[in-house]
Amino acid sequence: MKSLRRVGRDKTEHHAVITDEDLVVLRRSEAMNPNTPRGLVNKVWFDIQLHFGRRGKEGLRKLTPQSLKVFYLHPKRGEKLGDVWYSLEPMGVNYLGSMLSRISKEAGTSVVYTNHCIRSTTIQKLAEDTGPRVLSRATGHLL
């Protein structure tokens, strides 16, 4: 791969980084409104992904009620929610795998982002604030 990169034949396409403008759009959107069941799940999911820099679905499905209850519980559907916002049904792998694309469509971002875009954003923000050794250690990427 490095030899291809040196001669300019590397065709690797990296996931888009979420722009600062779209981060504002996401945070202000109804899709991440913590006063609604789905908005609260979306906000907590997004914040965890952004701050821990996980890859796409990496490790999310393995979470249990003891890990973080909001990931285990699916938001209830319907208008009359009452005091209980979540069912005991765990989120499925496909639901988790398409979280950011659903959120970005609902929020109206300039691009429909994928879950992996959050990791790219985390890495870029970390790279701006640290040196390559810290970045390598935090992400598991080799120098």
Residue 82 has pLDDT above 60, yes or no: yes
> What is the band of 89 on the pLDDT scale with cuts at 50, 70, 90?
confident
Distance of alpha carbon 69 from alpha carbon 80, whole angstroms: 22
Query: What length is written for the chain?
Result: 143
Q: What is the pLDDT of residues 92-143, one digit of tens each?
A: 778 888 999 999 999 999 999 998 898 888 888 887 777 777 777 766 665 5
> What is the band of 11 on the pLDDT scale with cuts at 50, 70, 90?
low
Distance of alpha carbon 111 from alpha carbon 8, whole angstroms: 28
Could you give the C-alpha distances from 98 to 11, 46, 91, 101, in angstroms and in order? 25, 12, 11, 5
H/E segment holding residue 87: strand 86-87
Quickly count: other Cβ atoms within 10 Å of residue 18's Cβ: 25
- C-alpha dihedral over 26, 28, 29, 33, to 10 degrees? 110
Q: What is the pLDDT of residue 7?
A: 65
Burial readout 32-59 (b: 16 or more C-beta within 10 A, e: otherwise): beeebbbbbbbbbbbebbbeebbbbbee
DSSP letter at 77? Answer: P
Q: Which residue has the higher pLDDT, 15 or 22?
A: 22
In the chain, what are the domain boundaries? 16-130
Instruction: Report the Cα–Cα distance between both ends of the chain, in Å, rounded.
Output: 14
Q: What is the pLDDT of residue 102?
A: 95
Q: What is the pLDDT of residues 38-66, one digit of tens each?
A: 898 899 889 988 887 765 555 555 656 56
